[in-house]
Structures are given as structure tokens and as C-alpha cells.
Structure 1
């Protein structure tokens, strides 16, 4: 017996109806989970974040109100044949020893009062919200981390297909992202004073178990056409895993998604040692 007797159009309608029913059932299930007092607060927050992320709301939190402030998306890059930078990165786990990790936390917590609101090189407003500790507050430790980074630099450049270069400076700072903090889409070499940044690195550390949600890094494919940089529509998401370090091309457009830290305590922040290797 031939079961394929219904027109394709009817199959499409049936599939669409089934999809709508599935979506409705899924929303009911999520709503019940959020209202279930037997689930822990952290579990319910995690569910809510996933729903917001899938709906696109999570991605739009704390974004500029003016649509003209959004970066251009490359819709037809073939016109002028711009160069495409793929959204590549290297992430290395267990970067620091337990002793080095302890020293990192010590520096962050003992210098709490020396963290100050972050800014951006091009002076644009509403693009970033976090707190920064300058390297002058951890000079000796800076040299230790700098040495580890430079040791693995040749391997990182080879894996990212970047040419080798003479290093003039390894720039470094410590950053804390707490509740509501974020960093909108940007480039790390966007500005005359920072044009020599070649390789971006970010080392993640935070209390265990993780006391915050969100804070993922998104890296976008980036089209280069002369002095113009535009983002592609796809992206890769990097989980800020504790005691891991990532490296990527400083020309890549990227952003830090909003952080949700229920306690609001400084010690519960999403911490990084981040910086740039200059040519």
C-alpha cells in the first residue's frame, strides 16, 4: 500500500502543526519547571538563562539603544572580495598550578579596593561594564604569567595560522565581571594607540562551585576590506572554564555576554587575567 498519497503541501502543513504543538508543550514544561519550588534557585536560573539565550533576549541585554551603534554585518562579502578571518581560538585547560591559582585569587581579593570601572580606548559609551585592576598592582606576578604565555606563543601562532613576529610588549590587566556586567561587540586593536595588538589572551578563574551564570565569550568571523571590519552572521561560543586560557587573533570581533551573579559579592565575580601581545 502506498502511504505517500498526500500532497507535499499537506505534509508541510502537518509538520508545521506538529512543530507548533511541540513548541507549546515545551513552553508549558519550562513554565512548570520555573514555578517548581522543589528545584533549587540555581537550577531555575539556569533554565531561565537557556530560554533567554534561545529566544535572543539574552543576547540583546545591555545593548546600545541607538540602532546605528550596532556593527555592520557583512551580507555580501564577495563584492570587493574582502579577507575572511575565521572565528578560531585556542583554549588550554589547567593553565596554572594550584599554587599559582592561589596567588591569583590572593591578588584579586586583596586589591578589591583598587579595581575601578573599565573603559574603552575609542571612548564609546555603553559598550562595556566591568572592573579592572592595573598591572602595576601585581608587577612580580605579571612577569611570571608573561613568561608562561611567551613560552607557548609559537605553538599558538602555528595553530591559529598566524605569522610569527617580534614581541614589543605583553599588555596585561585583571578584570572582574559581576552582576549585569558585559562587553559589547568590539575589536582589541580598534584604535591608534592599540593598533599593534596581534594576539589576545584571556585566563579565566573564579570560585568553585561557579557562583555566576552567563559571561560566555562570543567570537565572530570577521571580514576585512581595507580599513573596514564587518562581522559574519555565525559565531563560536567560548565557555569561560575555570583555570583555562584562550588565545585568538586581536582583529576578531568578539563580545562578553552579560553576567548574572545572584549574590553580587565581588568574590563571586567572573575573573580574568587578560591582555594582548603587541608586535
Structure 2
């Protein structure tokens, strides 16, 4: 016998609510988000957490919105009542914030569940996508809630000065099913039109995640342990090639000192021709090599780098050299990089397929003529890969040695974006996920080095 659906206290209120997904933030959207977090009593979260994560790329904000009746535009038109943020942590792995709500919606299970459902469905487009949480090792309540929701506790450990955390992981698609959110649509979930078992399961899960995370953003001291800790991008996984664990702050305001981007580097026709040229030469791509400092020859070493390269750019070599020369002076000036006599421009095409990456390295130790490094991103549209961010660390000279600082910028591989940075800067390409494993769906780039004469 089917269990009757009970009326929900929040049903009428949620009936006037819609869910909006932000991939970009307008000034009016930012104002609405600032107002929301002020109402929750945590206004600092926007500047200290939400915006830095969002600007790092591969992050989305899911917001429950109640529009004012008139005028339905301009400042104040969006009344945000719930927020959930996702961000890529590492290859195919996503961190999800708790569902943030104001006090009047703390027991609004339909609102929390609907936001979470929208986020999971977006992630689950990639069949291999996983949701990860960091849970304190001796947790009891959160451990129970996670395991009942289908999470697996792993021995992947993250240490802070306050506690030791273990990684809990669950496939996004399975989590949807386990929470009972795969069947009903978001409108029914918002209305509370689910049976008692699904309602109770979501109430327990979302309430526990919210309360277990709360100490982290309300405590005055960073040494206070929260039962659930925020996942740091690239931080909790020990990746190949010695990429440091738990290092690197992503500060938007240091981009001018680390790297410079140029949008719309090629015309639409030139982009299409370039992609066609590359796809027609799939058989000519060779395994990428590395040359260790002081070594006589380059070798293939997948512990450090896994990708394939094409050295013959045909007529595109002259095109890219011309565009680089056109942009060079302006880019050099914005970087604060000293002028140098222009020499050779070295170029190649790189294809990053499923599980490819390039560990932390630098393109010059000062013993050669490379001055600036160059990366131009392109791919098939719509994009069929995830990950593959370029992370560039500011690198300075200390006691005669080049040393990376904790100032860095993660750059999402957006089509038709060219990036310039000093060749001495340490940098890495984070792992790429290509679910189809088709060459045509790879993360492509034209990479190169600008030499002094």
C-alpha cells in the first residue's frame, strides 16, 4: 500500500521558490548572495569562501530564489533563501558545501533536498563523478549519517592543526538514489511531496552535514576542530609526480603577479580550422617527454607527465607566432616582467586524454633562453572533459635558488583563452577526466615558450 504524502509546513513557501544555477556572477547576483549570507549571520563567507572558490573555476552556485512580484528585475529582485556550492577537488571528485539557509528555513528539508538534488544531477552527467567529504576520524554522528547515505570511508587522510580527517566518498549517481532523490522532480521535492522515509533520510543527512560543518565558519580560532572540514582544491589527494599535498592558496588578487590571460585569441573560423587540423592528425601525436635538469636527452616518464604532443603545427605556427608578438608587450607590462630581445617562439600541440596530467615543474631554471611560457586552450564544443586546470605558482629567488611560494592561481581551460606566465614559475596541469576516452573529446592546448634572442 502506497504511503500517503503528508502536507508540508513549508509547502506554500517553497511553491514560490525556484532553483537557479550560477556559472557566472553579475553584480545583482552578488548583491543577492551578500544579502543572503548577511541574513544567515555569516556575511564573511562570501569573501572568504564562496567567491575565492568560484573564481578558481569548475565551481557552481545553486541558489533557491524567491522573486519579488514587482519589479521583477534589478537590485533586490532576487531573494535568495538557500545556497549550495560545488567545486572540483581533484580528478572527477567534487566537494559540496552544506546547504546554507537562514534560521527560518533550518528545518525546511524540501528546500535543502531540492538544492542537493540539482547539484547531484549536474555532477552526475559525468558517470564517474564522486562526492567527497572530510570527516573527523573519531566522528560518530557524521560517520553514521554518511554511511547511511551510501558513503564509503577511505584511509585517505588529511591533517590540520586541530584534527585528523578521513575522506568519505560516494558516486554522485548512487548518492541520488540512496537519498531517494533520483525519482521525484525538484518541484515535488521542494513541495515536500515525498514519503516519510525519504523525507527523514534527507532531514537527517542535511541537518547533520550543516551542523557538522558549522564550527568551521563560526569559530573565532582556526585551531577549533569541526566535525566536517572543507575540502581544499587539489589538497587532500596525493597525486602523481610529487604534487604537494595540502599546499597552495588560491588568491584571485595575485593573478597579475603570476599569469596573464588574453581572451578571444583566435577568430571563430581560426579555432574551427585549428581543431580540424589537430583531429586529422591524431595518428601523428607522440607520447610527451620530459628532460630532467642537466640530462642529455628527453624521456617518457608517466610518473611525471602523461599526455601526447604534435610538433608540426603547419601554417598555424606562423599564425600563433604573429598573435603572440602582437600581445607580448602588453602582457609583459601587466606581468611586470623586464623587457628582453625577442628570439625564437617554440610551439607544440598537446592533447590531454582521460587521466592525463603534468606534475609540478618549471620550464626554465635560468640556464636557458626561455623567458615566458604560453598556453592556448581549445576543445570540441560542448566540452566533453573535466579537470585539466593549469595551476601556476609564483616562484621567487631565495638564497640563489628558485622557490615556489604559496601564492598561486588556478586557471580553468576555457576555449580561446591564451595564458602567459614567466617560465621560471612552477606550474602543473591537474588530472583530466574524459568519460568517453575519445581523442576528439580531449583537452587540447597549443603550448610554447618565448625565448630571448
- Fold conserved (TM > 0.5)? yes
Please name the residue that 2:98 is paired with: 26
- Mapped partners of 2:119, 2:268: distance in 1: 40
* 3-state SS of paired residue (2:348): strand
Aligned with residue 105 of structure 1, among 259, 275, 279: 275
1:153 aligns with 328
Whichever structure has more strand as a proportion of its residues is 2
Pairing 1:199–2:369 present: no
Which of the residues 79, 84, 92 maps onto 2:262? 92
Gaps of 5+ in 1: 1-22, 75-84
From 130, 137, 153, the equivalent of 2:307 is 130
Alignment match of 1:174 (pick from 345, 349, 354): 349
Q: For residue 164 of structure 1, report the CA deviation from its aligned partner.
A: 1.3
Secondary structure of the corresponding residue to residue 200 of structure 1: strand
Q: How far, CA to CA, are the matches of 2:380 and 2:390 in structure 1? A: 19
Offset of residue 146 of structure 1: 0.4
C-alpha contact 1:34 1:47 (8 A) present in aligned 2: no
Distance in 1 of aligned mates of 2:334 and 2:441 = 33
Asked if structure 2 preserves the Cα contact closer than 8 Å seen for 1:156 and 1:247, the reply is yes
Does residue 264 (structure 1) correspond to residue 437 (structure 2)? The answer is yes
Give the whole-Å Cα distance in 1 for the aligned partners of 2:304 and 2:133: 23
Structure 2 distance, partners of 1:162, 1:25, is 39
Cα distance between partner residues in 2 of 1:232 and 1:216: 19
TM-score normalised to the size of structure 1? 0.73
| 1:42–1:87 CA distance, 2 compared to 1 (3 A) | farther
| Deviation for aligned residue 1:48 | 3.4
Local SS of the residue matching 2:413: coil
> When the two structures are superposed, what TM-score results if normalisation uses the length of structure 2?
0.46
Structure with higher Rg: it is 2
Cα RMSD over matched residues? 3.7
Paired residues of 1:87 and 1:252 also in contact (CA < 8 A):
no
In 2 relative to 1, CA 113–259 (structure 1 residues): closer, same or farther, beyond 3 Å?
Answer: same
Post-superposition offset of 1:158: 0.7
